[in-house]
Structure 1
Amino acid sequence: MALTVGSVGVVYGDIGTSPLYALKESLHAAAGGGHAPTREMVFGVVSLILWALILIVTLKYVLLVMRADNDGEGGTPSLVALAQRALGHSGGFVIVLGMVGVSLFFGDAIITPAMSVLSAVEGLKLVTPATAPYVLPISLTILIGLFTLQSHGTARVATFFGPLTAFWFVVMALGGLGHLVDDPSILGAFNPAHGVSFILSHGTAGLLALGAVFLAVTGAEALYADMGHFGRSPIRTAWFGLVLPALALNYLGQGAMLLARPERIENPFFLLYPAWALLPMVLLATVATVIASQAVITGTFSITQQAMQLGLLPRMRVLRTSETEKGQIYIPRVNWWLLIAVVFVVVLFRSSSGLAAAYGIAVTGDMVITACLLFVVAWKVWRWSPAVAAAVIAPFLLIELIFLSANALKVLHGGWVPLTIGAALVTAMWTWRRGSALIVAEIHRQRVPLSEFTRMAEAGSIQRVPGTAVFLTGTPDDTPGALMHNVKHNRVLHAGNVVLHVVTEDLPRVSHADRVTVRQLSDAFSCVTVRFGFTELPDLPRALATAGLDKGDLSYFLTRRVLVASPETGMPVWQDRLYISMARAATDASRYFRIPADRAVEIGARIDI
């Protein structure tokens, strides 16, 4: 029960704020601005929203996608890791899909806080129109405060998220239930024929409304992404026991009220409640949107960490904000870039209606990527036949492609924002992955086999000094550059030499028994492999100490590469320069691997890229 209530706060915060704007924006798109919606429009849009919740969230995510767990973890990187492990070397296209999915998730993470907070604060205009000029400043103040507090973590306030959000769902359900008596015929919206008829009879307006309908399922990706924190069963229990009934009642209540009073299209969510309850509802909605924003910001930190571990992004400083909750981390650079982007879109669009088009493309694009990756997992991991996998997943993919096409009509009206963000991030990730591969190839080209070097070093007359030196390398069979330069320039060799190779597995976590592997090459040389999962924060001294290899007397030698752009290395010069700028901004290896500064020695090396 505790996990179920907790999942309500973290997992369902985003989708729980969709009633603030989903029905309103869909009917605005159908009716054309501020015109009152017709009865047919109300029935059609409510029907489409209900069936989007049933087909996309319930059948696809709650019942199907959540089966694809990677050792209990979910999210796009986990799905990529599962698919790539099954495909092996032939899974390059899976990485590309993963890049696109991660990029669209970032676009979603930028738009969600802006959209949610703006839509909640706009309720103040119903309390008193005099507050209209202050909606934007109040929204910006809340958002800036939210991002400023991220460094303190969510450990202390997380216990309040579940009960508060559960109360929010109960209040939403009661608000909708109270208005079903306005026109009980709205229950007929469960008949999908209303939605199909609406789309077929309204042409472009129907497609525009269809794009806005998808706002009702924003946050569905969180069901899968946060599975590792709560488990599959609590998330499913919360959905069927509270979240889905509350959402359905609220949308039905808004529809019934609009059938009786179409003029309330201005803000049907808040107008479900009596005048005396407007201010408390605005405050409660603001709290709910802050919780929803917190969940997606925390999710962004987790996705970034996984992308770094999978080699899609450069190293960045990662801090833990909780001693007990592994998923509660903080990445300062990502936090401040997110804040800048969120403030930019708030100032650019100035209202939740303006942001609606941008929101839809990010969400639908991310869901299409998930469906494509899920087909690979069903085929290769679950061992379904391609025909069965296609028969199950193709209907969801078709529905989402229709939604994506509907949202594509709004590219010029805001949809360009997530597309631009996604294109920039995909370019950066592809450049980082390609540039890193070129560097490894260049190092391998100039390599000296480690076995050959150890024979030469031990047979020669190089002076030995006491102590043990650790040399990090990305290619364990080659001699690390730092080791070669240490012998060449300092003309000394330590009594003990450890060639250390760090591997990121396609599992979320690695057991302590499998963490460290030691291969003795000679009396003076050993090769050590340390493995981390893609959700773990790598800590080399702790890993070696746990294995009994580090008693606090090791010296770590690292290679500091000086990169120079070259037109002859395989990438265009502009891409070389982009990679070099990303590499310079990356957190250095000693900090990333938690190596104490007084035990790290860096030796420079020039590499053309």
Structure 2
Amino acid sequence: MMNGGDDAAEAQNKSRTLRRLDSLDVEASCVPGWQDLNKGFSTTLTLKLAFESIGMIYGDMGTSPLYVFSSTFNSESSPHRDDVLGALCLIIYSLSLIPLIKYVVVVLSAHDNGNGGTFALYSLICRYAKVSLFQNEQVENQKLSGYRLPSPDRAVRRGAKIKEALECSAFAKGILLLLTLLGTCAVMGDGVLTPVISVLSAIDGIQTKKASLTNDHVVFISVAILVILFSVQRFGTEKVAFLFAPCIFVWFLFISGIGIFNIVKHDAGIFRAFNPYYIMDYFRRNGKQGWISLGGIVLALTGTEAMFADLGHFSVPSVRIAFSTVVYPSLLAAYIGQGAYLLKYPEDVSQTFYKSIPGPMFWPMFVVAVGAAIIASQAMISAVFSIVEQSLALGCFPTVKVVHTSSKFAGQVYIPEVNWILMILCVIVTGIFKTTSYIGNAYGMTVLAVMLVTTTLVTLIMIMIWQTKLHLALAFFIIFGTVEMVYFTANLYKFTEGGWLPVAFTSILIVTMAVWHYVTSRKYKFESDNKVSMMSLVSRLESDLRLSRVPGIGLMYTQLVQGVPPIFDLFVDNMKALHSVIVFVSVKHLPISSVPLEERFLVRRVGSKEYRMYRTMVWYGYMDSLIPHQEFEDLLLGSLEEFIKVEGFALKMPDKSTHHENFDESEDSSSNSLHPTREKKSGSDSNQEANATSTSLINQKIEELETEWEFVSNARNEGVTYLLGSSVVEASPTSSIGKRFVVNVLYDLLQRLSRKSRVALQIPHKYLVEVGITYIL
């Protein structure tokens, strides 16, 4: 029940922002400010997050010393001393150039409200320029606190021209989306290769102590570990996550300590590798073979993208501190130590890591290595789950079940279908390739594909949004793009030696996501083109004597945010009845990381008040989880109550700020009669009469609002029914062969394999009513 005085004052203040009530061009409720996401953390919290990030982010990069040198050189021959120095020089400068300068200094600044990854970069570009191909762009999005971008202090003509060119070119929009999907699919491909190469390379070291074990034994042990790893995914990582950071931190201490030991014991002159001359000499000496060996060098960079992709779980300063103070120095010490060992024992190149470990430290190091490999695999698997969830939110992936495994951390999810597919693929890849050399050829392809996409998108952001000077932006693109392209071509040369694997994975994933996105976008256009007009709606409600209103609230799900969906007519034709209160629900996933709960719902009225029909748009960011149905109903009814209260005062309060607003044309024009023309009076009589009139109107309005809200509350008590369309999509008979194949074959197959919409929307089955609808595209 509504309280008169306080509610009246609050609603009157909110009503000043209301204009046309049957349009989502305005807010229907107060939008509070959002916390300052750039606000710094305390030093203690930053250091704590930095320590935790070591376990969650850097496991993949930290395990690279297990296999980099063995993948760079041919195990059948011993490398020359100068070749060892040249390869080490390449590793040192690659680590300094890509992870340290590109990512730590530049890319981490391109976060989306604290979240990173390919979708975050695409989100920033879409919110600056109208290039999004997702069906979620509405005027109201700009009112969300997390959606707004700060305006530049000065307009730069080249940025405006690039923005205009992107907005006017459908081809450019498609390329941007394709790049985003490519980067996303490449990371998902890493979810197969990271567990395989990490676990296999860690277990492989046991042969240095147990010569009786063959490669088949190593493969069998690796497969067993992988099966166990994927089998425990359903329990979530929260229970064991507290071990991640200490274990990986100990790993970094071990590899740096052993590296220093090898430098001191074998050849302190290894520091000559800091001289860039050895890079030129390396290519001069080896020619084409030196270029091909870059496919092994690039494995030192694996896991770099995780710094940006997993940024949302930590903070920019914490990730930078962890890499600069622990990860980078430890990796340098490890690689330099291995280089010093190879200068003395070049014949051990195939087992460089384990051969360089002092005897008493072997078994402790082996145990920690296996633990680090499992953690690196776990982090990558969790990242794939998060990426699939983001793709689902943006309509680019078939519907799958998402299980939230943590009550504390929304980002910890488990997707059964994806988990078992990853496990099967990991077992197959391990059984087929058996050695890390072939898997390394495949692994480098996915790593470099993500890096190239990131370089391209960040360059666009630098020019358009950051207003960076053109020569600096071009320098960033040319330097890093050239280095990454050289590495990419070296991996491409090994296409037949394992490089085809990530290409196959990525191609299948891109086709899947592109087909799903294309058809869902066409379905939205079909609904938009065939929506029920307001005139037709009014005519049916007023003239169809067979149509009755039954007690209860009906939540009718639709993609539309304007007009009445075509499924409405099907419900009326089949049911011959409507609930006493109808709410059209549009769930929209925006290309931003998160939408605050208090900004989640936007409500408006459909038609006249006596129809008791409303519309609500529910916003989710790509990192938000769906609200459970009971909580969803409570929040929805709370937003509806607030809307009714605010709307009433906006329309009927005798306030000058709202008297000349544009109201919904469906509203009764007699509302103006509440401001009757009276003869002018003077003195206290006029003031008293005005006050009495104002008080009377307020009391009348409060009574009307209470009556309407009581009606809605009673309907809620009668029960809430979810109304959903069960769709079948078919291509038009006149469509091209390609379109018919995409819609009737590929999409139909994906739809059959995916979960139903009611599962994705978490709609309780016992409260669901479905009506079939066929879309002809």
The residue that corresponds to 2:79 in the other structure is 37
Deviation track 1:131-156 (CA, whole Å, cap 9, x = no partner) reads 22410100000000000000000001
Mapped partners of 1:318, 1:452: distance in 2: 39
The residue that corresponds to 2:333 in the other structure is 249
Is structure 2 residue 722 aligned with structure 1 residue 556?
Answer: yes
Mapped partners of 2:248, 2:365: distance in 1: 13
On the 8 A contact 1:84/1:94 being kept in 2, the answer is no
Deviation track 1:338-389 (CA, whole Å, cap 9, x = no partner) reads 1111111111101112211111111111111111111111122212244432
Map residues 278-357 of structure 1 onto 2, 5 A cutoff.
278-357=362-441
Q: What is the root-mean-square deviation of aligned Cα atoms in Å?
A: 1.7
On the 8 A contact 2:530/2:565 being kept in 1, the answer is no
Is structure 2 residue 610 aligned with structure 1 residue 525?
Answer: no
Moved more, 82-91 or 548-557: 548-557
Is structure 2 residue 97 aligned with structure 1 residue 15?
Answer: no
Which of 108, 117, 125 is the equivalent residue of 1:83?
125
Which of 90, 99, 107 is the equivalent residue of 2:181?
99
The residue that corresponds to 2:35 in the other structure is none
Change (3 A) 1:589 1:386: farther
Residue type at the aligned position of 2:189: G
The residue that corresponds to 1:110 in the other structure is 192
Which of 535, 556, 560 is the equivalent residue of 1:471?
556
Deviation track 1:219-276 (CA, whole Å, cap 9, x = no partner) reads 0000001111011111111111111111000100000111112122131111121233
What secondary structure, in the 3-state scheme, does the structure 1 residue paired with 2:557 have? Answer: strand
> 1:198: Cα distance to partner?
0.8
On the 8 A contact 2:729/2:776 being kept in 1, the answer is yes
Moved more, 111-120 or 126-135: 126-135
Residue type at the aligned position of 2:230: F
On the 8 A contact 1:482/1:557 being kept in 2, the answer is no
Mapped partners of 1:386, 1:395: distance in 2: 14
Deviation track 1:536-568 (CA, whole Å, cap 9, x = no partner) reads 122263344124259573211000012335453
The residue that corresponds to 2:768 in the other structure is 600
Deviation track 1:142-199 (CA, whole Å, cap 9, x = no partner) reads 0000000000000010001001100000000011100112111111111222123212
Is structure 2 residue 72 aligned with structure 1 residue 26?
Answer: yes
Is structure 2 residue 498 aligned with structure 1 residue 498?
Answer: no
Residue type at the aligned position of 1:557: L
The residue that corresponds to 2:574 in the other structure is 489
Is structure 2 residue 493 aligned with structure 1 residue 409?
Answer: yes
Mapped partners of 2:461, 2:543: distance in 1: 52
Mapped partners of 2:391, 2:339: distance in 1: 42
Mapped partners of 2:530, 2:477: distance in 1: 47
Which of 439, 457, 464 is the equivalent residue of 2:523?
439
> 1:52: Cα distance to partner?
0.8
What secondary structure, in the 3-state scheme, does the structure 2 residue paired with 1:439 have? Answer: helix
What secondary structure, in the 3-state scheme, does the structure 2 residue paired with 1:323 have? Answer: coil
Change (3 A) 1:103 1:484: same
Which of 352, 355, 361 is the equivalent residue of 1:268?
352
Deviation track 1:277-300 (CA, whole Å, cap 9, x = no partner) reads 323322211110000000000000
Mapped partners of 1:87, 1:376: distance in 2: 11
What secondary structure, in the 3-state scheme, does the structure 2 residue paired with 1:532 have? Answer: strand
Residue type at the aligned position of 1:232: V
The residue that corresponds to 1:538 in the other structure is 626
Mapped partners of 2:192, 2:393: distance in 1: 22
The residue that corresponds to 1:58 in the other structure is 100
Residue type at the aligned position of 2:83: M
The residue that corresponds to 2:646 in the other structure is none
What secondary structure, in the 3-state scheme, does the structure 2 residue paired with 1:220 have? Answer: coil
Is structure 2 residue 213 aligned with structure 1 residue 125?
Answer: no
Mapped partners of 1:200, 1:447: distance in 2: 68
Mapped partners of 1:399, 1:349: distance in 2: 28
On the 8 A contact 2:270/2:339 being kept in 1, the answer is yes
Mapped partners of 1:21, 1:336: distance in 2: 27
Which of 512, 516, 519 is the equivalent residue of 1:428?
512
Mapped partners of 1:40, 1:315: distance in 2: 54
> 1:581: Cα distance to partner?
1.3
What's the % identity of the aligned pairs? 32
Residue type at the aligned position of 1:322: S
Deviation track 1:112-145 (CA, whole Å, cap 9, x = no partner) reads 1001100000001001111224101000000000
Change (3 A) 1:426 1:451: farther
On the 8 A contact 1:468/1:496 being kept in 2, the answer is yes
Which of 110, 133, 156 is the equivalent residue of 1:68?
110
Moved more, 313-322 or 542-551: 542-551
Deviation track 1:304-328 (CA, whole Å, cap 9, x = no partner) reads 1111111211221101010001111
Mapped partners of 2:414, 2:574: distance in 1: 40
Is structure 2 residue 710 aligned with structure 1 residue 579?
Answer: no
What secondary structure, in the 3-state scheme, does the structure 2 residue paired with 1:131 have? Answer: coil
On the 8 A contact 2:71/2:436 being kept in 1, the answer is no
Mapped partners of 1:324, 1:187: distance in 2: 47
Change (3 A) 1:444 1:274: same
The residue that corresponds to 2:685 in the other structure is none
Residue type at the aligned position of 2:604: R
On the 8 A contact 1:122/1:135 being kept in 2, the answer is yes
What secondary structure, in the 3-state scheme, does the structure 2 residue paired with 1:480 have? Answer: coil
Moved more, 154-163 or 185-194: 185-194
Unaligned runs of 5+ in 1: none
On the 8 A contact 1:176/1:252 being kept in 2, the answer is yes
What secondary structure, in the 3-state scheme, does the structure 2 residue paired with 1:394 have? Answer: helix
Mapped partners of 1:374, 1:94: distance in 2: 12
Change (3 A) 1:569 1:440: farther
Residue type at the aligned position of 2:307: L
Map residues 508-523 of structure 1 onto 2, 5 A cutoff.
508-521=593-606, 522-523=608-609
Change (3 A) 1:318 1:272: same
Moved more, 587-596 or 155-164: 587-596
Change (3 A) 1:186 1:587: same
> 1:455: Cα distance to partner?
4.8
Residue type at the aligned position of 1:579: Y
Q: TM-score, normalised by structure 1?
A: 0.96
Residue type at the aligned position of 2:176: V
On the 8 A contact 2:604/2:616 being kept in 1, the answer is yes
> Which has the larger Rg?
2
> 1:509: Cα distance to partner?
0.7
Deviation track 1:455-490 (CA, whole Å, cap 9, x = no partner) reads 532454321211111111111224234321121122
Unaligned runs of 5+ in 2: 1-46, 132-166, 168-172, 641-712
On the 8 A contact 1:471/1:480 being kept in 2, the answer is no
Q: TM-score, normalised by structure 2?
A: 0.76
What secondary structure, in the 3-state scheme, does the structure 1 residue paired with 2:59 have? Answer: coil
Moved more, 143-152 or 261-270: 261-270
The residue that corresponds to 1:383 in the other structure is 467
> 1:569: Cα distance to partner?
4.2
The residue that corresponds to 1:364 in the other structure is 448
